Amino acid sequence: MSHFHSEKRYSAFDMKFDEVLEILGPFGKYQKTRCFLLCLFAIVSAWHALNMFDLVCDRKALKSTSKTIFFFGRLCGAVAFGQLSDRFGRRPMFFIGTAILLIAGSVAAASQNIYMFMPMYFLQGLAHTGIFLVAFTLSTELVGPKYRLLVGFMIQMFYSVGYITLAGIAYLIGDWRYIELAITLPVLLFISYWWFLPESVRWLLTQKKNEEAQKYLEKAAKTNGVVLPTEFMESLQSEKNEEPDRKYTFIDLVRTWPMAKLSLNVWLNWLVNALVYYGLSLNTADLAGSPYLNFCISGAVEIPAYTLCIIFLNRLGRKIPLVVTMCIGGIACILSGTIPIDDNPDMETLSIVLAMIGKFCITASYAIIYLLAAEVFPTVVRNIGMGVSSMSARIGGILVPTMLELKSVWVPLPLVVFGGLSIGAGLLALFLPETTGRPLPQTIEDVTHPSNPRDILINGEDIVKKESQDTKM
């Protein structure tokens, strides 16, 4: 067991929560266990992302309606869970969402008509999106800066595993009602999380719930085999200078120009990434004869993209890889749509390869912007910011069918538009801050008026380097 002696002094002004995590263990046994549990839920969340009604309905109008309702549910879930989890906590919203998902999925499986099915389908979209958002945010808040990348991408990889395994479930079971039950009943297992899943200590500290925060920290310290210094809670409490009773809303994300500029850039990148991601997925749907095999491949191609991100992002940062993958993906999309094929098998193969390069790159960039958003928004509005980000992505998904109809104007036009938007949003990402290895901002002040230049970057400028240059002059 490691011991940290009390003679070491911790300044009330210097000690941030990420520094406490270094003492506690930035990715100790306590965090590993909780993050693994949240990753398991990502598999079930992916199962519920499939439009099940497409499998049983032959009427085009109803298929279109079901997609609209499902994506609208996802949009509402992103907004509602983001706002509510920042107000009432991550933990309560996780279990409320789990209950909604279990009930909605069970009732949907027993639905006798479209009027009974559609409301449940809306609730499934709402719940699975909201819970995944909460799980992702909570997992990144549990660990130290060096491990946020690993945890963020691991939960995304488990989500891809969910997509792959869903293809097998659908193939083996066949009947949509039993598929619905098969993906819903495992939600019962997550009730056991009540005894394991903690509340976000970062969130508790911003709400001045210091005794509860101390309880979780002491439990984590015991599990990780360390002893926390007695004065650490006093140091953490004294660094909070915002009103304890203040309630934050969406307006706080755009109230000041620095915060608005940051938020709008992140949200635009989410929208474009979702638009291109789902657009490429639909545009490459004919690559395999079997829909089950095609669905499986679509999920499998994401895993190497996530793996490379895990290997390189801590070395290269978040911002530059985001810009590069979006620009390369955009170029690949444009080339895939515009190269002349003329019934040439080699050119057809090249077009498919370029489309897959685009899918690979946009998968990586989508995951990077997801991680960057979780790191750049302050704790007091993190889930609100992530909720609006996810809402932006849902809007991008809803726009995909309309964008694909541009084929009637010019066949390559959808891919050209996807590519152009990807390149444009990628270039705008140059103005986002670099977050690699930085403590998570706790308050709005940490973003708009950072008290310590080590803690945050603004407008893409490295304040640490800027300060050191000023010192040399």
**Helix count and strand count (H, E) for the chain:** 19, 2
Query: Looking at this protein, which amino acid is placed at residue 256?
Result: T
> Is 227 in a helix, a strand, or coil?
strand
Question: How many of the other CB atoms lie within 10 Å of CB of 441?
Answer: 24
CATH topology of domain 252-473: Growth Hormone; Chain: A; (1.20.1250)
Average predicted confidence (pLDDT) for the chain: 80
Q: Would you tell me the crossing angle of helices 319-338 and 413-428 to the nearest 10 degrees?
A: 160
Q: Provide the H-helix boundaries in 48-144.
A: 60-88, 90-109, 114-142
**Would the pLDDT of 55 be above 60?**
no
What is the share, in percent, of the chain residues with pLDDT greater than 90?
29
| Tens digit of each residue's pLDDT (9 = 90 or more) over 309-332 | 888 888 889 999 999 999 999 999
Rounded Cα distance between 324 and 283, Å, is 23
**Would the pLDDT of 338 be above 50?**
yes
Rounded Cα distance between 160 and 84, Å, is 27
Name the pTM for this structure.
Answer: 0.76
Query: Looking at this protein, which amino acid is placed at residue 360?
Result: F
- The CATH number of 9-227 is 1.20.1250.20
| Tens digit of each residue's pLDDT (9 = 90 or more) over 172-190 | 887 878 888 999 999 999 9
**Would the pLDDT of 245 be above 80?**
no
| Tens digit of each residue's pLDDT (9 = 90 or more) over 294-313 | 677 777 878 899 999 888 88
Same fold, 9-227 and 252-473: yes
Most confident of 55-59, 86-90, 423-427: 423-427
What is the share, in percent, of the chain residues with pLDDT greater than 70?
82
**Would the pLDDT of 466 be above 60?**
no
Q: What is the DSSP letter of 226?
A: E
Provide the pLDDT for residue 50.
62
In the chain, where the domains are located? 9-227, 252-473
